[in-house]
Protein backbone atom coordinates (compact mmCIF):
# COMPACT_ATOMS: atom_id res chain seq x y z
CA UNK A 1 0.00 0.00 0.00
CA UNK A 2 1.51 3.18 -1.11
CA UNK A 3 1.94 5.80 1.43
CA UNK A 4 1.02 9.33 0.79
CA UNK A 5 3.88 11.69 0.80
CA UNK A 6 3.17 15.13 1.99
CA UNK A 7 4.54 17.74 -0.40
CA UNK A 8 7.51 19.50 1.01
CA UNK A 9 7.87 23.16 0.32
CA UNK A 10 11.43 24.24 0.28
CA UNK A 11 12.11 27.67 1.58
CA UNK A 12 12.95 30.19 -1.06
CA UNK A 13 16.67 30.76 -1.33
CA UNK A 14 17.81 33.82 0.51
CA UNK A 15 19.46 36.19 -1.90
CA UNK A 16 21.94 38.46 -0.27
CA UNK A 17 22.39 41.63 -2.28
CA UNK A 18 25.99 41.96 -3.36
CA UNK A 19 26.71 45.46 -2.19
CA UNK A 20 30.22 45.16 -0.89
CA UNK A 21 32.71 42.47 -0.05
CA UNK A 22 34.27 44.66 2.62
CA UNK A 23 33.11 43.87 6.13
CA UNK A 24 32.78 47.46 7.22
CA UNK A 25 30.97 46.67 10.47
CA UNK A 26 33.52 44.13 11.60
CA UNK A 27 35.45 45.68 14.44
CA UNK A 28 38.45 43.54 13.67
CA UNK A 29 40.88 46.01 12.18
CA UNK A 30 43.93 47.38 13.90
CA UNK A 31 45.43 50.79 13.27
CA UNK A 32 49.19 50.45 13.55
CA UNK A 33 51.77 53.22 13.70
CA UNK A 34 55.33 52.40 12.65
CA UNK A 35 58.57 53.92 13.77
CA UNK A 36 60.40 56.22 11.42
CA UNK A 37 63.63 58.14 11.78
CA UNK A 38 62.23 61.56 10.95
CA UNK A 39 59.17 62.54 12.95
CA UNK A 40 59.93 64.18 16.28
CA UNK A 41 58.70 62.49 19.44
CA UNK A 42 56.68 65.48 20.72
CA UNK A 43 55.11 65.78 17.27
CA UNK A 44 54.01 62.12 17.28
CA UNK A 45 52.56 62.56 20.78
CA UNK A 46 50.64 65.62 19.63
CA UNK A 47 49.24 63.77 16.62
CA UNK A 48 47.98 60.89 18.77
CA UNK A 49 46.33 63.37 21.15
CA UNK A 50 44.70 65.23 18.28
CA UNK A 51 43.56 62.29 16.17
CA UNK A 52 42.30 60.06 19.00
CA UNK A 53 41.54 62.65 21.67
CA UNK A 54 43.84 60.89 24.11
CA UNK A 55 45.40 62.53 27.13
CA UNK A 56 49.10 63.24 27.07
CA UNK A 57 50.07 60.21 29.16
CA UNK A 58 48.36 57.70 26.88
CA UNK A 59 49.66 59.41 23.75
CA UNK A 60 53.22 59.35 25.11
CA UNK A 61 52.96 55.68 26.05
CA UNK A 62 52.05 54.77 22.47
CA UNK A 63 54.68 57.14 21.06
CA UNK A 64 57.34 55.42 23.18
CA UNK A 65 56.08 52.01 22.09
CA UNK A 66 56.48 53.10 18.47
CA UNK A 67 59.96 54.42 19.20
CA UNK A 68 61.21 51.47 21.25
CA UNK A 69 59.43 48.52 19.67
CA UNK A 70 59.10 49.72 16.12
CA UNK A 71 55.32 49.80 16.09
CA UNK A 72 52.30 50.31 18.25
CA UNK A 73 48.75 49.11 17.83
CA UNK A 74 46.75 52.25 18.44
CA UNK A 75 43.15 51.16 18.20
CA UNK A 76 40.89 48.29 17.11
CA UNK A 77 37.79 49.19 15.14
CA UNK A 78 35.76 48.66 12.00
CA UNK A 79 37.40 48.85 8.59
CA UNK A 80 35.82 52.22 7.77
CA UNK A 81 36.86 53.75 11.07
CA UNK A 82 40.35 52.29 10.77
CA UNK A 83 40.72 53.71 7.25
CA UNK A 84 39.63 57.12 8.48
CA UNK A 85 42.21 57.07 11.26
CA UNK A 86 44.98 55.87 8.95
CA UNK A 87 44.10 58.73 6.58
CA UNK A 88 44.37 61.22 9.41
CA UNK A 89 47.66 59.85 10.70
CA UNK A 90 49.19 59.81 7.23
CA UNK A 91 47.90 63.33 6.73
CA UNK A 92 50.30 64.20 9.54
CA UNK A 93 53.06 62.28 7.70
CA UNK A 94 53.11 59.40 10.17
CA UNK A 95 53.64 55.85 8.94
CA UNK A 96 50.30 54.30 9.74
CA UNK A 97 48.67 51.22 8.33
CA UNK A 98 45.74 48.99 9.13
CA UNK A 99 45.70 45.26 9.44
CA UNK A 100 43.13 42.60 10.12
CA UNK A 101 43.11 41.31 13.65
CA UNK A 102 42.89 37.56 13.33
CA UNK A 103 43.38 36.98 17.03
Partner 1 sequence: MKLLDKDAERMVFLLTRREHYLLRFLFRVARRTRRARAALSRDSADAIDESTAAGFADTMAAHHDDARSSAERWLKDPAHCVRGRGGSFGLTLAAGETETFLQAVNAARVGAWESLGSPDFEMGEAIAPPAQANIRAIVAMQLAEHFVAELLRALHEKD
Residues at the interface with partner 1 (CB under 8 A): 22, 29, 32, 37-40, 42-43, 46, 50, 79, 83, 86-87, 90-93, 95, 97-100
Q: Which is nearer to partner 1, 13 or 37 (CB)?
A: 37
- Report, in Å, the least distance between residue 94 CB and partner 1: 9
Distances, alpha carbon 11 to alpha carbons 14, 15, 17, 50, in Å:
8, 12, 18, 52
- Report, in Å, the least distance between residue 55 CB and partner 1: 12
DSSP conformation letters of 9-20: PPPPPPPPP---
DSSP state of 23: -
Amino acid sequence: MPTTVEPVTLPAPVVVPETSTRPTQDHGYLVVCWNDPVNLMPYVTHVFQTVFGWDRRKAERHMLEVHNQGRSVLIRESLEEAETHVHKLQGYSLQATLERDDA
